[in-house]
Every structure is written in structure tokens, then in C-alpha cells.
Amino acid sequence: MTTFDELGLQPTLLRALRDLKFTAPTPIQALSIPPALQGRDILASAQTGSGKSAAFGLPIIQLLLDRPRGKTQALILAPTRELAEQICVHLGALSKHTDLRIAAVYGGVGFGKQIDAFKRGTEIIVATPGRLMDHMRSGNVRLNNVSMLVLDEADRMLDMGFLPAVRRLLESLPKIRQTFFFSATLPPAISVLVRDMLDNPVKVELAIENRAVDTLTQRIYSVPQESKTQLLVELLKDNDIYSAIAFTRTKSRANRLAAVLQKNNVPTDLIHGDRSQSQRTRALDNLKRGKCRILVATDIAARGIDIAELGHVINYDVPLAAEDYIHRIGRTARAQAKGEAITFVASEEESLIRGIEFALGHRLERTINPLFPEASIAPPKPKVIYRSRTRRR
């Protein structure tokens, strides 16, 4: 087994890894860190939860140790505020034994501290594209000293309409730089961006089917759409579900679900795009501290949220894409901990769940619905030949 000591990292970084009790690199880290330390561009296909922050963070920190301070030299772009904040916190822990400065720049909060970070020449900036563009239009930031660029969750940036902003940002960066590009998928629009951004990159591909870990249990309840809330309340009578994120498809459904849970005396909080940054931060903090039992969320929370002891993910609504399902369930069973993903499937969502099963390469376990046990028979097996996961060599 590869160890961090074999990756060419300096003692200050190895010390930080020991402080964090990280004993062995994940596959994405083992494959990305050595070429990144050599200055190579990296093109990686990997999901959230695979250790990406350290995969690009450790090389960036080490390469900056011998460079002058007082200039922004590394820029990390992330699609959501939560992911930007999470990366900033993680890199702060990895660089704790250095004098490098790291700041997060995202919307929903005031400009003052972010402007100060740019004026100080904070060495590493983690930003969402929209807020960074706001600062550039106001003349608060210059990026002419950036020598390392990271695009994290690039496919999510495309989904959120950030691709034009990313292209405008690229025009403000030095042409000669090292680039790290992370995306779960590479749709055509992103493939063009890859060709424009990267110079002979090292490719690191981790297949989607390897992302569901052995410690994660996945099961399905067939349930009428109008009975989903009643089923969730029934399942919560079992205290085994003590800390969970319940994902809904829309903000309005999230609001309604949270209101019903609160009426049933279930400690609940909310996170979605209409919530202020302070509300979103407080909601996550409440879940981490055990002050709320259920965090009701839209897919804004599906990526970049690291809650070490999250026991369950509940797909109140089946996601529209298999990639979103993978991201959602990746919130639990992290760092070899046990976790469970529960999905409520209404009849009109059966085609969506079949698509997810096809992407996973296996069928998901159907569980008897305690509300309608006589109607909990699994639907007939679809005539689909799942893709083999055995690669020919």
C-alpha cells in the first residue's frame, strides 16, 4: 500500500497529515500528487468524497513554500459556496504548519473581508466564479500572478451556467500556469474547455462504479408520491436514523417537508438556494453539532459537504441524473464509516431509478414499505442488460 511518505511531500505537510490522522492516500491522491509536484497539468475524473481537496491542495501548498509571499498565486474555482468554504477549511488544516494564507471568496456575505484578502495578497484564493467576477468588475482583484489554477466540480459549474464566467476569468490569467481540472463527467462543452486549458495533462480516471463504498447500504421504498412525507415520519420513529440529509428536487418541496417534520417534533433545518449564507452555514453547523436531526436540502448540498458522522442520506425525490445520485449518497459512509442511503420511489420515478441502477451496474434492494406492506412488491425486473464492470486487459 502506498503511503504519504512515498509521494514526495515535505515534512511540514506530512506532519499536518498525521495531525489529521490521514494514514494512507486515496487513489486520486496517490495518482495525482506525484505528477502535480513535477509541475504537470492534471485532468481527473473523480467524485466528491474521493479526497480531491488534498489531491490538488497538497501539491499547491508544497510548490508555494519556496515562492515569495504577498501575492495571490493559486486560484481554486468551485461551483457552490459550501464547496468553496469546505476546500478553504481543508487546505487550512493541511497548511497549518506553514505561513501560507488561504481565503474563501463567495456570494451571500459582505465584500469587506474578501477585499482585504485580495489587498493582503493572500497566496491561495478559493472562489465561486460569480463572486470572483463581481470583484474583478469592481477592480478589487488582479490575477496576473496566478501560477496554479484548479477547477473543481467542472461539470457542476456547467450545470449552473458558470461556463461563460469561467471563460472570462481564464482571459485574465497568465497563459503559462499549472492547471488541475476535476470533473465527474466530460460533456462536449467541457471537453472543449479542457483542450483550451490544459497542456499535455496527466489523466487520472476513477470509474463511477468504484465510488459506492463497501460500508454504504442502499435501499429503496416504493411509495405513492403523496405518501412520501408520511413514510419519512414513520421511518424516523426508529432512532437508528439520528443524523440525515433528506434531498428534495425543488426549494418549495424542501420548505414543505421541513415544515411537516417540525410539526412532528423532528429537529429540522433547511438549506437551499433561497437561504442566506449565514442560514446555510448555521444549518450545516446545527447538523454537525447534533442540534438538528434532519437537514432538508436541494442538490446544492450534494457536493462538497463533509459531515464526518452523517448516518443517512434520504432521497425524498429521486434525482434526475445518476451522477446526482452518486453525489448525494457520497455524503454518508465517508472515511470508512458506515452509512445508509434510502430512496423513495413513486411510480412516475421508476424510469429514473432504472437509469441509476444501469449506471451503478446492479439493482438496488427493495424494502417493504411499513405503510403499505401488501403493496411493497418490487416491480418486474426491466429488460436491461447491465454493463459489465470487468475490463479487458
CATH code of the domain covering residue 52: 3.40.50.300
Condensed to tens digits (0 to 9), the pLDDT of residues 248-269 reads 999 999 999 999 999 999 999 9
300 and 177: one domain? no
- Which pLDDT band, with edges at 50, 70 and 90, does 187 fall under? confident
Question: What's the pTM?
Answer: 0.69
| pLDDT on residue 391 | 41
133 and 56: one domain? yes
Question: Residue 265, by phi and psi: left (phi above 0), alpha (psi -120 to 50) or beta?
Answer: left
55 and 174: one domain? yes
Any domain includes 382:
no
Q: Distance (Å, rounded) from C-alpha 377 to C-alpha 368?
A: 7
Least confident range from 26-35, 147-156, 193-202, 213-222: namely: 213-222
Domain boundary among 151, 185, 206: 206
236 and 300: one domain? yes
Any domain includes 393:
no
Any domain includes 256:
yes
Q: By residue range, what is the domain housing residue 343?
A: 210-375
105 and 223: one domain? no
Domain count within the chain:
2
Any domain includes 29:
yes
Least confident range from 5-14, 151-160, 280-289, 329-338: namely: 329-338
Condensed to tens digits (0 to 9), the pLDDT of residues 288-326 reads 888 999 999 988 765 656 676 788 999 999 998 887 888
259 and 184: one domain? no
Rounded average pLDDT over 22-30: 90
228 has pLDDT over 90:
yes
Question: What percentage of the chain exceeds 90 in pLDDT?
Answer: 54
Domain boundary among 145, 174, 206: 206
379 has pLDDT over 70:
no
Contacts of 222-225 with CB under 8 Å at 24 or more apart are 222/345, 222/346, 222/347, 222/366, 222/369, 222/375, 222/376, 222/378, 222/379, 223/344, 223/345, 223/346, 223/369, 223/371, 223/372, 224/346, 224/347, 224/372, 225/346, 225/347, 225/348
| 200-209, 219-228, 324-333, range with greatest mean pLDDT | 219-228
Q: Distance (Å, rounded) from C-alpha 179 to C-alpha 43?
A: 8
| pLDDT on residue 144 | 93
Any domain includes 366:
yes
- Which pLDDT band, with edges at 50, 70 and 90, does 365 fall under? confident
Domain boundary among 164, 191, 206: 206
393 has pLDDT over 50:
no
116 and 166: one domain? yes
| pLDDT on residue 49 | 65
10 and 99: one domain? yes
25 and 75: one domain? yes
Rounded average pLDDT over 217-226: 92
Any domain includes 391:
no
Any domain includes 392:
no
75 and 148: one domain? yes
| pLDDT on residue 264 | 94
Condensed to tens digits (0 to 9), the pLDDT of residues 120-136 reads 999 999 999 999 999 99
Any domain includes 76:
yes
- Which pLDDT band, with edges at 50, 70 and 90, does 334 fall under? low
191 and 231: one domain? no
149 and 127: one domain? yes
Those residues with Cβ within 8 angstroms of residue 47's Cβ, 6 or more apart along the chain or in another chain: 184, 206, 208, 211, 326, 327, 330
